[in-house]
Amino acid sequence: MAKRFELLVFDWDGTLLDSAGAIVGAIQAACRDLDLPEPSDESARHVIGLGLGDALRHAVPDLPEHRYPQMVDRYRHHYLGRDHELRLFGGAFDLIAELDSAGFLLAVATGKSRLGLNRSLNTSGLGAYFQSSRCADECFSKPHPQMLHELMDEFSVSPARTLMIGDTTHDLQMARNAGVAGLAVDYGAHTAEALDTLAPLARLHKVEEVAAWLRMHA
């Protein structure tokens, strides 16, 4: 059967890597370090997927601009302190390996920095499977479509042949802004209800369901 999609673009945190809890904890710990009000778990989870600067501006809206370098430094201190503990979601490695074997073009579009993504790709063992990636310190932050536009241009793949897979409304809105179909997973950062407002092709509950959907529909 002919493939519906040629290019599959994955978000990283909360989609392939089980890191949402660590990100929330690092944001809240950084606020405590700086004697700032802690955002709720819900507020901190909402900003996952954005570039770090945009994420902190939303999570800590009263923070003066001149204190952002301090906030970023404390966030990184706490996140990197747990970075080595983070693992892929169960089945994620096998999913990516299977898609690679099936001949799909695979890419990552993430709110992580280039340094952070490269480190995570190396430690997870998935680096060899992704032909390209875009990070928040190289492009406009999600939901701006630049990451997807650049990836489609790089591979000369049309929007109709591209699928974005992610766990946040930022991923799905980016896909919509780029004219690309979106597939949602609800085991990451954003709630099922929030994801449904952007009408993804499907909303899936675990990695095994993502694999089954892609075998059937991609």
Say how many C-beta atoms besides its own lie within 10 A of residue 100's C-beta.
Answer: 17
* Range of weakest confidence among 27-31, 80-84, 114-118: 80-84
- CATH number of the domain to which 176 belongs: 3.40.50.1000
Mean pLDDT in residue range 189-204: 96
93 and 178 both lie in a single domain? yes
Report the Cα–Cα distance between both ends of the chain, in Å, rounded.
10
On the question of pLDDT at 1 being above 60, the answer is no
146 and 90 both lie in a single domain? yes
Residue from 13, 18, 54, 171 carrying the catalytic annotation: 13
Query: With contact defined as beta carbons under 8 Å apart, do 50 and 142 qualify?
Result: yes
Tell me the percentage of the chain whose pLDDT exceeds 90.
Answer: 78
Query: Which residues share a beta bridge with 182?
Result: 164
Active-site residue, 94 included = no
Pairing of strands 181-185, 105-109: unpaired
Sort 208 into a burial class: Cβ within 10 Å, 0-12 / 13-18 / 19+.
middle
92 and 161 both lie in a single domain? yes
Active-site residue, 83 included = no
74 and 139 both lie in a single domain? no
Tell me the percentage of the chain whose pLDDT exceeds 70.
Answer: 99
End residue of a domain, out of 36, 58, 85: 85
Q: Which domain holds residue 191?
A: 7-18+86-217
The pLDDT, as a whole number, for residue 82 is 81
User: Is 2 contained in some domain?
Assistant: no
Query: With contact defined as beta carbons under 8 Å apart, do 126 and 96 qualify?
Result: yes
Predicted TM-score of the model (pTM)? 0.92
What is the biggest distance separating any 2 CA atoms in the chain, rounded to whole angstroms?
58
Instruction: Give the residue among 202, 140, 144 at the shortest CA–CA distance from 173.
Output: 144
The rounded mean pLDDT for the chain is: 93
On the question of pLDDT at 103 being above 90, the answer is yes
